[in-house]
Amino acid sequence: MSHISSADPLTGLLNRNAFDEEFKVRMQTAVEGNLPISLAFLDIDNFLLINESFGHIGGDQVLKSISTILQEQAGKQAITARYGGDEFAIIFPGKEREQAFLTMERIRAQVETRERFGDVKTKITITGGIAAYPIDGSTESEILRKADQALYHAKKTGRNNIRLAYEEKMAPKTSHFTLTQLERLSNLAKDEGVGEAVLLREALDDLLLKYGTNDIES
């Protein structure tokens, strides 16, 4: 994978595709070695207002400034990526989620106290969510989903905070599936070595993403 194809052209961080590949490899290494790994998602609060106030050029300067802060503060072993728009992702290989939380809190505080981002003079805050293997899940998709959920709930509880993943209560639903679907689901679960419920939650997340209902408000 070349640097040109893997780098986000604005920030120089990994782009979404490169992040997906990198996280898959890092998760596999963590699982095989029984090592911890943490994942953080974060985005800039009220970024649409920043673009409206300072234009897209000003918005780009903010994105580049935030990217620099992430690279400087995340740690030498961390892997930073621009996940899309004003959302970023950081992989913390070998770090428990409490360690990742302290790092993310330091980043959040530094952004909050800064008064200038490039040529843009304004106050900015960020919100983040963290999930970690093995405490929050045993698969790549589980950790991604839990980190995304943590970010979503951090946004819903006021922004400008970092939230750890938690176990969501399962809501029972009456569903009807064909026997063929259930048989194929059972076979897939065995092949992948995961529970059928994990696959169903992953499929539902993909469906919600397709129709935009997983979008997190800035």
pLDDT tens digit sequence for 191-200 = 888 788 778 8
**Looking at the predicted structure, is the pLDDT value of residue 215 above 50?**
yes
Task: Grade residue 207 by pLDDT with cuts at 50, 70 and 90.
Answer: confident
- Three-class SS of residue 130? strand
- The pLDDT, as a whole number, for residue 5 is 77
The letter for the amino acid at 19 is F
Task: Provide mean pLDDT across the span 95-117.
Answer: 96
DSSP category for residue 7: B
Q: What is the dihedral of CA 216, 13, 76, 33, to 10 degrees?
A: 70
Quote the percentage of the chain above a pLDDT of 90.
72
Q: Is 212 exposed, middle or buried (0-12, 13-18, 19+ CB in 10 A)?
A: exposed
Task: Grade residue 179 by pLDDT with cuts at 50, 70 and 90.
Answer: confident
Q: What is the mean pLDDT of the chain?
A: 89
- Lowest mean pLDDT: which of 8-12, 80-84, 154-158? 154-158
Task: Provide mean pLDDT across the span 193-217.
Answer: 74
Residues 180 and 139: their CA atoms lie apart, in Å, by 26
Task: Grade residue 59 by pLDDT with cuts at 50, 70 and 90.
Answer: very high
The gap from C-alpha 164 to its chain's centroid, in whole angstroms, comes to: 12
Residues 203 and 180: their CA atoms lie apart, in Å, by 17
Q: Could you read off the pLDDT of 111-170 as tens digits, one per residue? A: 999 999 999 999 999 999 999 999 999 999 999 999 999 999 999 888 999 999 986 555
Please enumerate in sequence order all residues whose Cβ is within 8 A of that of 208, keeping only pairs 6 or more positions apart, or say none: 214
Residue ranges covered by each domain of the chain: 3-168, 169-218
What's the predicted TM-score (pTM) here? 0.79
- The pLDDT, as a whole number, for residue 171 is 56
Residue labelled with tokens 């639903």: 173
Residues 188 and 41: their CA atoms lie apart, in Å, by 29
User: In this structure, are strands 116-117 and 162-164 parallel, antiparallel, or unpaired?
Assistant: unpaired
Please state whether the peptide bond connecting residue 134 to the residue before it is cis, i.e. omega within 30 degrees of 0. Answer: yes
Token duo for residue 17: 């595709």
**Looking at the predicted structure, is the pLDDT value of residue 96 above 60?**
yes
- The pLDDT, as a whole number, for residue 1 is 45
Residue labelled with tokens 């400087």: 72
| CATH assignment of 3-168, among 3.20.20.370, 3.30.950.10, 3.40.50.300, 3.30.70.270 | 3.30.70.270
**Neighbour count for residue 103 (Cβ, 10 Å):** 20
Structural element, H or E, at residue 23: helix 16-33
CATH class of 169-218: mainly alpha
DSSP category for residue 192: H
Residues 194 and 187: their CA atoms lie apart, in Å, by 11
